[in-house]
Chains A and B, each alone.
Chain A
């Protein structure tokens, strides 16, 4: 479904250039959930932003649903691929009602049946009709993220790119949103790419994941390998140890992986 080959993203020019993504290749099959894990600055968000056309300055070869992607994406592309962002406070227009937020993609794509589609989308993400004419500030963080998921789903895409969809939420709300995403994936046979710094979230949602550090994929592994704690790279091992909680002795063994170029 999704193939990235030798993906490279650079920001800026000359000596100020930042090489954010270096030679990244991976494949995601249809109906699969693929996780991208890494610490801040590892390039994981940049990868998905390049995939969905938000970063035009990439090189390499990206094939999505059999089509080779150019820097500019057409309308049909966005009917196929949608994205959910981390911050539900920043990604919804503060002066638009939920109704308008959800109607806009329908109008742009001239799908018609606005009323039916909006109410169905709200229903699917577990928000009742009473939420339809509210503004984002009248919603909690979890409710906003549900609206963001509804907006992504309203065009009935086949691929969802999820960039830290639950890291701004309380754990109990995170559980609800993760369950929602799992259910929608089952019902609609969606393909997910999930970006997260949280190994537990990725292990819960995905069957396969890639660990990124400094713009490169350090290692690609299955969740079973992660669970049995047999990653082959030291970096992944350290990340796994760190995500299991505080251990004074383990901290002293931490290595700095920042230095390598």
Chain B
């Protein structure tokens, strides 16, 4: 692919018609993604996950998606046929969800599931598939790939499960990876190890990564750019390194209410005051 953004999103809206009225989950989100790590941060209900799903057209009715532009590599994702979308999903844009326990099939061995992800995207021999699966398991730093290949999902730890998910998603060598809270269920050290794997993929293979998370301080230290969402709107987009100088009161509020290891401690934490005006004006 040539230069220019991998993905362009302009004025994305997602709403759900419910018996209690229309719920507008995403209200006019615009951003572009290059070969970089873009973080989408927000609290629960801010629309960050729905944004990720809308890109892959995984929002089901009664959910409705509309946008001025939703373009990936010259393909208009909104008008693309389901057939085209199937070719894109997994192969060119893939997604890792939060909990490996629910994303892996509990009655199929890890190896067969990874192999399936590979074979579905092209005719390859059984031996070649296994070789590739083991190679991917090694790439995500699983120490004993042969054992894990034959293991069932309940026989591996949470951190390993998440690495398996990532291995599976990376086998087709996608251009974009959407990671929705991929490490929230993991211990801090394991979390950082999984992030290091993603980081290397961005630098080595030129992957574009959308990293959805509620953890602002983690995103600030990991991503290149951060998009802050509140109530379905983008409050602010800034370079992760300059997050400490963020201007928007919501971003500031989120940063301030975090307890710090090295702060004074044992005083009141500032509480976030929500301004109703934020609901009306996004970026």
Contact = CB atoms under 8 A, between A and B. Distances in A.
Given A197-B187, A248-B196, 18 more contacts: A39-B188, A39-B189, A40-B158, A40-B187, A171-B254, A172-B43, A175-B259, A175-B271, A178-B269, A179-B271, A204-B260, A227-B265, A243-B188, A246-B195, A247-B221, A250-B192, A251-B196, A252-B196
Contacts of A223: 265
A205 interface: yes
Contacts of A242: 188-189, 191-192
Contact of A204 (B158, B188, B265): B265
A23 to B, nearest CB: 23
Interface string A217-261: 000000100110100000000111011111110111010000000
A50 interface: no
B189 A172 contact: no
Interface in B199-241: 199, 214, 216-218, 220-222
Interface residues of B, number: 36
Interface in A37-61: 39-40
Contacts of B262: 227, 229
Interface of B: 43-44, 158, 187-193, 195-196, 199, 214, 216-218, 220-222, 253-254, 257-263, 265-266, 268-272
Q: Which 10 A-B pairs have the closest CB atoms?
A: A245-B221, A204-B259, A175-B257, A172-B272, A39-B187, A175-B269, A246-B222, A242-B188, A246-B221, A170-B43
A205 B266 contact: yes
A203 interface: yes
A176 interface: yes
A199 interface: yes
Nearest to B214: A170
16 contacts: A170-B43, A171-B254, A175-B270, A179-B271, A182-B268, A198-B259, A200-B260, A200-B261, A203-B261, A204-B263, A242-B188, A243-B188, A245-B222, A246-B222, A251-B195, A254-B192
Chain A interface residue number, banded: 35 or more
B175 to A, nearest CB: 22
B196 A239 contact: no
B214 A240 contact: no
Nearest to B260: A200
Nearest to B44: A170
A143 interface: no
Nearest to B186: A40
A240 B268 CA distance: 23
A199 B258 CA distance: 12
Contacts of A243: 188, 261
